[in-house]
Amino acid sequence: MPETYTAVAETTGTWTEEEIRQQPASWIRSLTNIDRLRASIDRFLTPLLHKNDLRIVLTGAGTSAFIGDIIAPWLASHTGKNITAVPTTDLVTNPMDYLSASHPLLLVSFARSGNSPESVAAVELANQFVPECYHLSITCNEAGSLYQNAVKSDNAFALLMPAETHDRGFAMTSSITTMMASCLAVFAPETINSNTFQDVANRCQTILNSLGDFSHGVFGYEPWKRIVYLGSGGLQGVARESALKVLELTAGKMAAFYDSPTGFRHGPKSLVDHETLVVVLVSSHPYTRQYDLDLLTELRRDQQAMRVVAISADPDAVIEAGPHLLLPPSRTFIDVELAFCFLMYAQVFALTQSLHVGNTPDTPSTSGTVNRVVQGVVIHPWLA
């Protein structure tokens, strides 16, 4: 039986908390809508996917860019297509490095508001550089420029997320995960759809319920000053997004870093001290998992960090030898599904840390120098 999503009393009175809690219901709402739109999506997408030399680039700015980091590795492997992730913030400054006229291009643009200057400029530059260019705009704001331009274009398909995912809080929460799930359902409908994803929604709902009123420490209570998230493959993208959430919601009062478990040894591990919290996102893949557990053992043996916490779907003696979180029971998840579960913990941790340092989570930047929709970007015209 599908789980019924019931509202839980909000404790912080913030949009951010409301938007974290609404995610499982929003995912199923969006994927059900994609089911209804399947014929239209296939009419647009199928001819493109038959092009052997098609490049598919997943793009966005900030958190929207990390969607590509998280899902592109699995999508490329699963579909056999040339799928990569390039942020709009790189595309607009160096289009000559990322856009090629020699291959047809499908640019998949993710955006919460769809009004970031880089989001709009990336579409225009792609059209300018690539003669055979197509666009899939996945956005949360019907009034945004990205959505409106796609609706009016004959080489684009506009996919709108449920209205509530146009997050009002400063940090993207329900917007990133709903766009993630929706893109997976577009390109891998046999694996990710409204029926199969119910398991992910149920598991994440159980996680959110287990965290109660969000007042207790997700990873315990310590006076840590910095946090490191570590993940392999697409989970490194989760680690990056998790670190950004802490930086955003604490306005930099808690330093946050990310890396892969194997990459961390090559210098970045130097930052670990007795004020550092390390969180290892353990892969479900039996091969990759070995590397995660090796570093977990090493970090605990070093005894340099204040705390090393493992999050895993499955138990293991190495994991249970120290602080850890085991996901609620469910079927076996692949890593791209685990990503949603890990983000639940990371989002709630960032929210509680924001309150801990005395911030208002919905508007954490008291200086006004960092904004919900980026400001101050000058887009310079490309002159061939």
Q: What is the largest CA-CA distance in the chain?
A: 59
Per-residue pLDDT, 7: 37
How large is the average pLDDT for residues 208-223? 89
Average pLDDT, the chain: 93
Q: Give the architecture (CATH level 2) of 216-356.
A: 3-Layer(aba) Sandwich (3.40)
Burial of 36 (0-12, 13-18, 19+ CB in 10 A): exposed
CATH of domain 15-199: 3.40.50.10490
Per-residue pLDDT, 363: 86
Q: Which strand (E) or helix (H) includes residue 206?
A: helix 198-210
Q: Is the pLDDT of residue 8 over 80?
A: no
How large is the average pLDDT for residues 270-299? 98
| DSSP secondary structure, 266-323, as one string | TTGGGG--TTEEEEEE--SSHHHHHHHHHHHHHHHHHT-SSEEEEEESS--TTGGGSS
CA-CA-CA-CA dihedral for 94, 97, 102, 107, to nearest 10: -60
Q: Is the pLDDT of residue 366 over 70?
A: no
Task: Pick the closest to residue 123 from 161, 150, 159, 93 (CA basis).
Answer: 150
Contact (CB, 8 A) for 5 and 205:
yes
Q: Is the pLDDT of residue 204 over 60?
A: yes
Q: Is the pLDDT of residue 122 over 70?
A: yes
Per-residue model confidence as pLDDT tens digits over 332-352:
999 999 999 999 999 999 999
Burial of 9 (0-12, 13-18, 19+ CB in 10 A): exposed
How large is the average pLDDT for residues 180-195? 98
How large is the average pLDDT for residues 70-93? 97
CA distance 312 to 242: 16
- Pull the structure tokens for residue 306: 């204040």
**Domain boundaries of the chain, sorted by first residue:** 15-199, 216-356
Q: What is the DSSP letter of 364?
A: -
Q: Is the pLDDT of residue 197 over 50?
A: yes
Per-residue pLDDT, 217: 85
Confidence band, pLDDT 50/70/90 cuts, at residue 2: very low
Per-residue pLDDT, 383: 81
Tell me how far apart the terminal alpha carbons of the chain are, to the nearest angstrom.
58
Task: Pick the closest to residue 214 from 367, 14, 5 (CA basis).
Answer: 14
Cβ within 8 Å of residue 253, ≥6 positions away = 357, 359
Query: What are the C-alpha distances in Å from 229 to residues 204, 224, 342?
Result: 19, 14, 11
Per-residue pLDDT, 3: 42
Confidence band, pLDDT 50/70/90 cuts, at residue 116: confident
* Least confident interval from 5-14, 159-168, 183-192, 272-281: 5-14
Task: Pick the closest to residue 259 from 285, 286, 292, 287 (CA basis).
Answer: 292
Q: Which strand (E) or helix (H) includes residue 109?
A: strand 105-111
pTM as predicted: 0.94
| DSSP secondary structure, 112-153, as one string | SSS--HHHHHHHHHHHHH-SSEEEEEEES-TTSHHHHHHHH-
CA distance 344 to 323: 18
Confidence band, pLDDT 50/70/90 cuts, at residue 221: confident
Share of the chain above pLDDT 90, in %: 87
Q: Is the pLDDT of residue 375 over 70?
A: no
